Amino acid sequence: MPNESDPIVIMDSGVGGLPYLETARKLLDKESFVYLADRAGFPYGTKSGDEVRRIVLDRVARLVERFSPKAVVIACNTASQAALSAVRAAHPALAFIGTVPAIKPAAARTKTGVIGVIATAQTVRDPYLDSLVARFAPGAIVIREPAQELVAFVERRLFDAAIEERRAAVAGHIRRLVDAGADQIVIACTHFLYLRDDIAAIAGAGVDIVDSRGGIAHRLSVVLAERALLRTAAAPDRRGLFLLSGDEPAEAPYHRFAGEFDLRGPELLTLS
């Protein structure tokens, strides 16, 4: 059974979940974290739901074996939609927190009744999104904007791209949503959080940019409290570990991301 001194694992196909880790670490400042960027499975958004499920089940099993975490946060909308119920079924004693598009807060706030959702190719076509819309925004018009190419842009080019390049990368997507009347733009791919300011600048005043970082950190703390798994004393090593799947040495951007988020590593999670 999990106990309070076990770490919290956060995973994504790449660096998209790191802003979630940052928010969770601020709220839960006694905890230790392990972060997996699943480089070997990257990207998830071009794959089928079945394929993403198979990959995520595999990575979670390896992480559970190596770290016996007390909770796992799937900081990826594509993976959560495709695999959350499967990983819960495979590890019934473990707490899982998923990241799903923040349709509910957007529906509560919209005045125009039009909500834009910017996400990966797989997330926008996943029936799970239809069920979220039917449940939380039945009266709204929800426009789905796939922006898969932005995932690789963030993963590989974020630190090299000038502001003009970042703005140009998001402009077409955001203008389409705003021109259709959206006053809420839901960031439904965790990678796009890095482009939040650019998205807000293109969207202009009067458009809310909605994401789930705060909600996920809060949910994580509630779930751990309910299970009496919150640390009472600070972890000896609170710096956290950045893991990268695959055998190849880490490419330069991953070293940079580890430094920016003050994590040890990158260390490799070999899959062979």
Residues acting as catalytic residues: 76, 189
DSSP structural state of residue 156: I
190 binds ligand DGL (CB under 6 A): yes
Please give the single-letter amino acid code of residue 87. Answer: V
Q: Nearest distance from residue 77's CB to ligand DGL, in Å?
A: 4
12 binds ligand DGL (CB under 6 A): yes
Q: Which H or E run contains 167?
A: helix 163-179
- Closest-CB residue for ligand DGL? 45
Out of 73, 76, 142, 178, point to the residue binding ligand DGL (CB under 6 A).
76
How many Cβ atoms are within 10 Å of 239's Cβ, its own excluded? 14
Q: Measured from the CB atom, is 98 or 240 closer to ligand DGL?
A: 98
45 binds ligand DGL (CB under 6 A): yes
Q: Nearest distance from residue 32's CB to ligand DGL, in Å?
A: 23
Q: Nearest distance from residue 4's CB to ligand DGL, in Å?
A: 29
Q: Measured from the CB atom, is 32 or 77 closer to ligand DGL?
A: 77
CA 25 to CA 20: how far, in whole Å?
Answer: 8
CA 111 from centroid of its chain's CA atoms: 27
Q: 185-222: b or e for each residue (b if 16 or more CB lie within 10 Å)?
A: bbbbbbbbbbbbebbbebbeeebbbbbbbebbbebbbe
Out of 6, 7, 10, 16, point to the residue binding ligand DGL (CB under 6 A).
16
Out of 73, 174, 189, 216, point to the residue binding ligand DGL (CB under 6 A).
189
Which residues lie closer than 8 Å to 140 by C-beta, 6 or more apart? 107, 110, 113, 114, 115, 133
CA 257 to CA 130: how far, in whole Å?
Answer: 34
CA atoms within 13 A on the CB side of 245: 23
49 binds ligand DGL (CB under 6 A): no
Out of 120, 184, 212, 245, point to the residue binding ligand DGL (CB under 6 A).
120
State phi, psi for 28 to the nearest 5 degrees: -115, 70
Q: Measured from the CB atom, is 18 or 140 closer to ligand DGL?
A: 18
- Residues 136-165 as x/- pattern, contact with ligand DGL by CB under 6 A: ---------------x--------------
Q: Which H or E run contains 225?
A: helix 213-226
Q: Measured from the CB atom, is 55 or 107 closer to ligand DGL?
A: 55
Q: Measured from the CB atom, is 56 or 229 closer to ligand DGL?
A: 56
Residues that bind ligand DGL (CB under 6 A): 12-13, 16, 42-45, 76-78, 120, 123, 151, 189-191
